[in-house]
Amino acid sequence: MENYKKLLEKFSSACDWASIREYKEVTDLVMARNAKPDQISTGESHGVMVEVLYGGQISYAGTCDLTNEGIQKAFDKALTFAIKTKQNNLCNFDDSIRPANQGDYQTKTQIPFEAVSLAQLQSNLVDITKALKVSDEIIEASAWAMLTKTNINYISTNGANWSQEFCIVSKDFSATASRDNENQTRSYGMNGRQLGLEDIDMTLLLKEAKRVGSQAVELLDAEECPTDQLDLIMAPDQLYLQVHESIGHPLELDRILGDERNYAGWSFIGPDDFGKRQYGSDLLNVTFDPTLTSEMASYVFDDNGVKASKEYLIKDGVLLRGIGGIESQTRSNIPGVSCARSCDWNRPPMDRMGNINIEPGDTSIEDMIKGVKKGIIMYTNRSWSIDDYRNKFQFGCEYAKLIEDGKITKTLKNPNYRGVTDSFWMNLDKVGDKSTYEIWGSPYCGKGEPNQSIRVGHAIPTCLFKNIEVFGGA
């Protein structure tokens, strides 16, 4: 950081404000298929992003040339752009949007990544694929794990100086069963957590692999999901994506401000909705929570250097805050959260979800099922699509159970449902208690021009929705 500090001292006379964000990320990807080792590879991304404020405009230049000359060149490019296009600047910022925070953050881990070789990790994955093959009808069994370590160092001309280190384990495994012309796939569900290798708990994962393999075979005999208007219970491994697509994205302030209109889309939510709009039933409580240990997107500072804290986005069903960092808050005068993040050294920060969670309620899964006359429980997402205003959606799941007169009666295959966000969350009828609450997260949330794929977390209880349109396969 001393070297960066000296460079910034030099830069400061030519601009109104500048920062250097060094970003280094190393990812090991380990795979196994059909009881045999598959590929192992490692990727490392390392560079700096220079950010320059001049005449109210912020410009960025990222470089993998980490020499002083390379960083100077990046600064010159960013400054030149800001000077020469100043008259066409959309926003007029000053350095108050870059607070001078200091500190550091590190993922809490019990077993460091280095404790186990990649070969040993692969051997564990091979065992998982063996456990998946519960019968000869399993034609494909695969497992993968991804270990990611990210280091960010940030320093600015007005005194910001902080570092963060994230350790993330992502993993999934799946089995495809086949009989005659029927093929069914069941998976554990892609998940990522901020943890060490304690997340690769082989006792648990082998048990889960047997369940996944057995359920893939079970689906070959299952009835098609009916086409009907029914009560729908969603397990956290599906509901987290519903939250992501129909609460997370529409509440992003940069979408509402129109930055995303050409790519990801706009939002059915408008600036006047905050503080007033009933987003869902009064059981709906949604938080932005960067403090939950082990959730994928926990952190202390966002990439604008703003301190992160837990905030309610929706309380008792009422929309309170947007998912917008300090720039969007300044532009819109809408309350937001510290969520300006970039996916790598070569991309600028923008409004991202972080951890978007539903707070648990007080209904047990048993009571939830008991209260359903006719309904379906759906597990594990397999398909998702939503319109550019984040309203009309359709989701598909891998596995479902039919509920009749308060009891689970049958397994169903090819379960799907569709609806409209605007009315869907009003149909939230029961929110599961702590025993149903699970932490999920995806390494791949896409958005932005240029495109950025970033990690997000969603901690979710099981929930019951009334009168949802469900349907089966082709």
Partner 1 sequence: MENYFNQISQYILSKKQTEEEVTVTLSGEKTQFVRFNKSKVRQSTDVNQLNLSIAIQKDEKEYSFDFSITGILDNDQSKVDDIYETCRSRMLDMAKATFFVPFKNNGSSSVSNIGELIEITELTNILCDETAHVDLAGILTSGISYRGNINSLGQSHWFESASFCVDYSLYSAKEKAVKGSYGGSTFELGAFKAILDESIRNLKHMEKDNKVLTPGKYRCYLAPAAINEILDTFCWGGTSQGALKQGSSPLLPYENEGKRLSPHFTLNEDFSLGLTSQFNEDGEVFTKKLPIFKNGQLENLLVSSRTAKEYGYKSNAAGAEESLRSPVIETGDLCREDILKQLGTGLYISNLHYLNWSDQKQGRITGMTRFACFWVENGEIIAPIKDLRFDDTIYQFWGENLEQITDFAETELDNHTYSERTLGGTQCPGMLVKDFNFTL
Binding positions for partner 1, 378-437, rule CB under 8 A: 383-389, 392, 394, 396, 414, 416, 418-420
Angle at 378 between CA 366 and CA 249, to 5 degrees: 115
Q: Of the two residues 89 and 291, which places its CB atom closer to partner 1 in the complex? A: 89
List binders of partner 1 among 172-201 (CB under 8 A).
176, 178, 181, 183, 185
Minimum separation from the CB atom of position 25 to partner 1 (A): 10
By CB under 8 A, name the one of 409, 423, 451, 467 that touches partner 1.
451
Minimum separation from the CB atom of position 141 to partner 1 (A): 10
By CB under 8 A, name the one of 117, 203, 272, 276 that touches partner 1.
117
Measuring CA to CA, which residue among 318, 333, 334 is closest to residue 286? 318
Buried residues in 157-178 as b, exposed as e (16+ CB within 10 A): bbebbbbbebbbbbbbbbbbbb
CA pair distance 196, 115, nearest whole angstrom: 10
Q: Judged by CB under 8 A, which stretch of 34-42, 217-225, 403-411, 422-430 contacts partner 1?
A: 34-42
Residue 301 exposed, middle or buried by CB count within 10 Å (0-12, 13-18, 19+): buried
Q: Of the two residues 268 and 437, which places its CB atom closer to partner 1 in the complex? A: 268
Minimum separation from the CB atom of position 470 to partner 1 (A): 12
CA pair distance 158, 422, nearest whole angstrom: 43
CA pair distance 355, 172, nearest whole angstrom: 20
56 near partner 1 (CB under 8 A): no
Q: Of the two residues 141 and 314, which places its CB atom closer to partner 1 in the complex? A: 141
Q: What's the CA dihedral at 362, 365, 371, 376 to 10 degrees?
A: 130
Q: Of the two residues 260 and 295, which places its CB atom closer to partner 1 in the complex? A: 260
Give the contacts of 333 (CB within 8 A, at least 6 positions apart): none
In DSSP terms, which residues pair with 395 in a beta bridge? 384, 417
135 near partner 1 (CB under 8 A): no
182 three-state secondary structure: strand
Q: Judged by CB under 8 A, which stretch of 31-39, 199-207, 302-310, 459-467 contacts partner 1?
A: 31-39
List binders of partner 1 among 262-301 (CB under 8 A).
262-263, 265-266
137 near partner 1 (CB under 8 A): no
211 near partner 1 (CB under 8 A): no
> Going by DSSP bridges, is the β-strand pair 463-471/228-234 parallel, antiparallel, or unpaired?
antiparallel
Q: Of the two residues 181 and 405, which places its CB atom closer to partner 1 in the complex? A: 181
> 268 and 391 in contact (C-beta within 8 Å)?
yes
Rounded to a whole number, what is the distance in angstroms from the first to the last CA of the chain?
Answer: 58
By CB under 8 A, name the one of 16, 22, 252, 259 that touches partner 1.
259
Q: Of the two residues 86 and 210, which places its CB atom closer to partner 1 in the complex? A: 86
Q: Of the two residues 137 and 367, which places its CB atom closer to partner 1 in the complex? A: 137
Buried residues in 417-451 as b, exposed as e (16+ CB within 10 A): bebebbebbbbbbbbbbeebbbbbbbbebebbeee
Minimum separation from the CB atom of position 37 to partner 1 (A): 4
Beta strands in 329-451 (DSSP E): 340-341, 350-351, 356-358, 374-386, 392-404, 407-413, 416-420, 428-431, 438-447
By CB under 8 A, name the one of 87, 136, 203, 276 that touches partner 1.
87
List binders of partner 1 among 58-77 (CB under 8 A).
58-67, 70, 73-74, 77
- Amino acid identity of residue 9, one-letter, is E
Neighbours of 93 (CB within 10 A): 19
Q: Of the two residues 101 and 394, which places its CB atom closer to partner 1 in the complex? A: 394
By CB under 8 A, name the one of 6, 10, 108, 261 that touches partner 1.
261
315 near partner 1 (CB under 8 A): no
91 near partner 1 (CB under 8 A): yes
Minimum separation from the CB atom of position 91 to partner 1 (A): 7
Q: Judged by CB under 8 A, which stretch of 57-65, 205-213, 301-309, 435-443 contacts partner 1?
A: 57-65
